[in-house]
């Protein structure tokens, strides 16, 4: 018989752990002295102790270990338990990879928005945009209704989304309740559904203006853009575009004063 201290050294289990396993009925000492309460362990308990240590390393619960020890006495008998744990770990790994992907997406989006915010001049610029494949939902109503459209596109195309959300405006004027617009998101690939249209958004020369601040103040940037167009005697085509570089976050609503929206007007070829 070995004292609890000796048994601890032989099994690499702390005295505290051995006492806990005794209390839980998982590893009961071979003898407990009356009065002193000293615990003693027979050599036959060593294999059980090492099994407990192994199963704890494999993150089995005390209840599971207790069931295994009481019901099985051979390695082959516990294969089903080990297979179950392996399946749980694989499920957890898949979920961890999914979470890792979401974290990368959030981090990239926020870093990119900060970089754009620090580098932009907030003046009208002329640039060329490439054609892009988008998934969009044509909507009629309030501009704020676009969120439901983005949600449907996100749920349908998920990992195929490859750019920033945008709104395509088909009206040449501001409308409060019956605006005609598309909620759109760039995608790598996909096909149309009954509600969502997958189509090519043309590229070409455009006028671009970054707006920093709440959506309610976009009118000031539209004034700047339209004044520029008038001064240059340019003709632009519909739909106009709003590209949302930074808005309500994936976690928090964020500070509207830091929302970053790019207004794009496509210039008609001469």
pLDDT at 161 over 90: yes
Residue 77 pLDDT > 80: no
Answer with the residue of higher pLDDT: 180 or 104.
180
Q: Rounded to whole angstroms, how far apart are CA atoms 158 and 164?
A: 13
Q: What is the pLDDT of residue 41?
A: 93
**Spatial distance between the Cα atoms of 229 and 235, rounded to a whole number of angstroms:** 7
Confidence band of 35 (pLDDT split at 50, 70, 90): confident
Task: Please provide the average confidence, as pLDDT, over all residues in the chain.
Answer: 89
Rounded-to-integer distance, Cα 108 and Cα 102, Å: 10
Average pLDDT over residues 234-261: 84
Assess whether pLDDT exceeds 60 at residue 252.
no
What is the Cα–Cα distance from 22 to 48, expressed in whole angstroms? 12
CA distances from 93 to 97, 99, 155 (A): 6, 10, 22
At residue 139, does pLDDT exceed 90?
yes
Secondary structure letter of residue 159 according to DSSP: G
Provide the 8-state DSSP code for 234: -
Among 74-78, 103-107, 114-118, 248-252, where is mean pLDDT lowest?
248-252
Neighbouring C-beta atoms of residue 248, cutoff 10 Å: 12
* Predicted local distance difference test score (pLDDT) of residue 99: 87
What's phi and psi for 74, nearest 5 deg?
-145, 145
Please check the confidence at residue 253 and state whether its pLDDT lies above 70.
no
Secondary structure (H, E, C), 217-245: HHHHHHHHHHHHHHHHCCCEEEEEEEEEE
- The residue count of the chain comes to 270
CATH fourth-level superfamily of 122-267: Regulatory factor, effector binding domain (3.20.80.10)
> Between 185 and 176, whose confidence is greater?
185
Residue 107: pLDDT band with limits 50, 70, 90: confident
pLDDT at 255: 81
- Helix residue ranges, H only, 120-217: 146-157
Cβ atoms of residues 255 and 151 within 8 Å = no
- What per-residue confidence (pLDDT) applies to 72? 67
pLDDT score of 251: 53
C-alpha separations of 205 from 168, 202, 239, 267 in Å: 16, 10, 14, 6
Q: Is 80 exceeded by the pLDDT of residue 270?
A: no
Strand extents, DSSP E, 93-234: 125-129, 132-141, 166-169, 179-186, 197-201, 204-212
What is the mean pLDDT of the segment spanning 232-248? 92
- Is the CATH number 3.30.565.40 carried by domain 2-71? no
pTM attached to this predicted model: 0.61
Report, as an integer, the average pLDDT of 203-209.
96
Q: Dihedrals φ, ψ of 260, to 5°?
A: -125, 115
């Amino acid at each position: 018989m070995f004292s609890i201290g000796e048994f601890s050294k032989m099994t690499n289990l702390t005295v505290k752990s051995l006492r806990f396993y005794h209390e839980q009925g998982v590893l009961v000492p071979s003898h407990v002295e009356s009065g002193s309460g000293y615990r003693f362990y027979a050599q036959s308990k060593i294999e059980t102790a090492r099994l407990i240590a192994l199963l704890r390393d494999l993150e089995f619960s005390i209840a599971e270990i207790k069931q295994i020890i009481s019901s099985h006495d051979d390695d082959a008998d516990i294969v089903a338990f080990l297979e179950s744990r392996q399946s749980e770990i694989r499920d957890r790994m898949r979920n961890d990879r999914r979470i890792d992907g979401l974290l990368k997406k959030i981090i990239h989006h926020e870093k990119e928005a900060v970089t754009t915010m620090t580098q932009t001049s907030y003046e009208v610029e002329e640039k060329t945009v490439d054609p892009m494949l988008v998934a969009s939902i044509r909507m009629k109503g309030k501009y704020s209704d676009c969120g439901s459209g983005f949600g449907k596109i996100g749920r349908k195309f998920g990992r195929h989304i490859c750019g920033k959300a945008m709104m395509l405006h088909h009206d040449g004027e501001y409308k409060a309740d019956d605006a005609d617009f598309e909620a759109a998101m760039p995608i790598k690939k996909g096909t149309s559904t009954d509600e969502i249209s997958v189509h090519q958004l043309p590229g070409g020369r455009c006028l671009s203006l970054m707006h920093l601040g709440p959506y309610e103040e976009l009118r000031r940037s539209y004034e700047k853009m339209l004044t520029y167009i008038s001064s240059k005697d340019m003709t632009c085509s519909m739909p106009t575009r709003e590209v949302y570089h930074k808005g309500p976050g994936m976690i928090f609503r964020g500070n509207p004063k830091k929302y970053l929206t790019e207004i794009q007007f496509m210039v008609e070829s001469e």
